[in-house]
Structure 1
Amino acid sequence: MTTHKIENAEFTVLTVKKRRQCTLDDVLNYGAQFVSFFNECLNAFTGLTRLYMENLRFVESDFVSNIFVTCKRLNYLGFLNCDTQKRLTLQVEHAQLSELSMVNCRFYKVELKWLPRLTRTTFTCWMDFEELPLSFGHVPLLEFLNLTNVGLSRHKMVMLSTLLCETHIQELRLGFKCEKIWVQPECLSERLASAFHRLRIVSLVCIPEGSDLKWTNFILEAAPSLEELYMSVIDHPCEMIIDPKMRMELSLSENKGVEWESPRPHFKHRRLAKLVIFCFVNYMVSYVRRVMIAAVNLKDVYLYDRLACSKCKHMAVFKPGRLPRAKKKLKAMKKLLAQGIESAPRIHLQTHSEMDADHAARIKDYLCS
Structure 2
Amino acid sequence: MHKGKRADRLSALPDDILVNILDRLNLREAARTSVLSRRWTQLCANLSQLIISAQHFLPNGVLCTGVSNDELVRINAAVVQAMGSILTRRNPGEHTIRLLSTTFYLRDDVPISIGCAVGHAMSAHLIENAKFNVMTGKYDIIDLDEDDLVTAGRKFMLFFNACPSAFGGLTTLDLENLRFGESDISNVLVTCKRLKHLCLYNCDSGDCSTLQLEHAHLSELSIAHCRLVQVQLNWLPQLTKMVFEGWLRFQDPLFIGHVPLLETVSLTNLALSHSRMVELSEFLSGTSIRDLKLEFNSEKIWVQPECPTQRLASVFRQLRFVNLANLPQGYDLTWTIFILEVAPLLKELYMTVSDHACLTETDKEKRKEGSYSENKGVEWDSITTGFQHQSMTTLVIIGFESEDCFVSYIRRVMVAAVNLANVFLYSRLVCGKCEEKPNRYPWTKRQRVSLKRRLIAGIESFAIFHFVGMRVAHIEKMKYPQCSLLEAKRSFT
- TM-score calculated relative to the size of structure 1: 0.92
Query: In structure 1, how many angstroms separate the alpha carbons of the residues matched to 2:366 and 2:252?
Result: 24
Is 1:348 aligned to residue 466 of structure 2? yes
Distance 1:289 1:86 in 2: 47
Counterpart contact for 1:231–1:277, Cα < 8 Å: yes
* Alpha carbons of structure 1 residues 270 and 136: separation in structure 2 relative to 1, 3 Å: same
1:157 match: secondary structure:
coil
Aligned to 1:196: 316
**CA–CA separation in structure 1 for the residues paired with 2:479 and 2:391:** 27
What is the match of residue 327 of structure 1? 445
1:135 Cα deviation after fit: 1.7
CA contact 2:207–2:227 (8 Å) conserved in 1: no
Match of 1:289 in 2: 411
Describe the shift of the 1:249–1:65 C-alpha distance in structure 2 as closer, same or farther (beyond 3 A): farther
Match of 1:33 in 2: 155
1:49 counterpart = 2:171: yes
Q: Distance in 2 between matches of 1:38 and 1:211?
A: 49
Moved more, 83-92 or 340-349: 83-92
Matched, 1:256 2:382: no
Q: Does 1:81 align with 2:199?
A: no
Distance (whole Å) between structure 1 residues aligned to residue 262 and residue 438 of structure 2: 40
Report percent identity of matched pairs.
Answer: 50
Moved more, 277-286 or 323-332: 323-332
Give the Cα separation in 2 of the matches to 1:135 and 1:344.
43
Task: Tell me which moved more, 295-304 or 129-138.
Answer: 129-138
Q: 1:108 is paired with a residue of what secondary structure?
A: strand
- Kindly state the Cα deviation for residue 320 of structure 1 after the two structures are TM-superposed: 2.3
Task: After TM superposition, give the deviation of residue 307 of structure 1 in Å.
Answer: 2.1
For the pair 1:123 / 2:239, whether they are aligned, the reply is no
Answer yes or no: is the 8 Å Cα contact 1:272–1:295 preserved in 2: yes
More relative contact order, 1 or 2 (CA 8 Å, 6+ apart): 1
Distance in 2 between residues matched to 1:49 and 1:186, nearest whole Å: 39
Q: Which runs of 5+ in 1 are unaligned?
A: none
| 1:113 and 2:234 aligned | yes
Instruction: Give the corresponding residue for 2:336.
Output: 216
Rounded to whole Å, the distance in 1 between the matches of 2:356 and 2:223 is 23
Q: How far does the alpha carbon of each residue in 1:320-359 deviate from its partner, in whole angstroms, 9 at most, with x for none?
A: 2321222122111112211222233001132xxx111212
Q: Is 2:192 aligned against 1:71? A: yes
Q: Which residue of 1 aligns with 2:72?
A: none
Residue 55 of structure 2 corresponds to none
CA distance in 2 between partners of 1:77 and 1:171 (Å): 20
| Whole-Å separation in 2 of the counterparts to 1:40 and 1:9 | 17
Q: 1:298 aligns with which of 420, 443, 457?
A: 420
Matched, 1:265 2:404: no
Q: 2:486: which partner in 1?
A: none
Task: Give the whole-Å Cα distance in 2 for the aligned partners of 1:194 and 1:258.
Answer: 24
1:131–1:155 CA contact under 8 A, matched in 2: no
Secondary structure class of the residue paired with 1:28: helix
Q: Distance in 2 between matches of 1:91 and 1:22?
A: 24
Q: Which one-letter code corresponds to 1:166 in the other structure?
A: G
The answer for the alignment partner of 2:473 in structure 1 is 358
Contact 2:252 2:283 (C-alpha < 8 Å) held by counterparts:
no
The two structures, once aligned, show a CA RMSD in angstroms of 1.9
Q: Could you tell me how far 1:360 is from its partner in structure 2?
A: 3.3
Structure 2 length-normalised TM: 0.70
For structure 2, the 5+ residue unaligned runs are 1-118, 481-489
What residue number does 1:183 align with? 303
**Corresponding residue for residue 84 of structure 2:** none
Residue 79 (structure 2) aligns with: none
Please report how far the alpha carbon of residue 362 of structure 1 lies from its aligned counterpart in structure 2 after TM superposition. 5.0
The 2-side partners of 1:37 and 1:90 are apart by 21
Shift of 1:364: 7.2
Distance apart, 1:105 and its partner CA: 0.9
Question: Of Structure 1 and Structure 2, which has the larger fraction of its residues in helix?
Answer: 2
For 2:235 and 2:479, locate their aligned partners in 1 and report how far apart those are by CA, in whole Å. Answer: 32
Task: Give a deviation string over 1:106-130, Cα, whole Å, max 9, x none.
Answer: 122111011111010000012x324
Deviates more, 1:17-26 or 1:192-201: 17-26
| 1:146 paired residue number | 266
Does structure 2 retain, via aligned residues, the 8 Å contact 1:130–1:154?
A: no
Distance 1:160 1:130, change over 3 A: closer
Which shows bigger deviation, 270-279 or 320-329? 320-329
Change (3 A) 1:198 1:109: same
Contact 1:19 1:55 in 2 (8 A): no
1:19 and 1:81 in contact (8 A); partners too: no
Give me the whole-angstrom Cα distance separating, in 2, the residues matched to 1:147 and 1:363: 13
**What is the alpha-carbon distance in structure 1 between the residues aligned to residue 476 and residue 367 of structure 2?**
33
With over 3 angstroms needed to count, the CA separation of the structure-2 counterparts of 1:69 and 1:11, relative to structure 1, is same
Give how far 1:86 is off.
Answer: 5.0
Cα distance in 2 for partners of 1:225, 1:362 equals 17
Worse-superposed segment, 324-333 or 83-92: 83-92
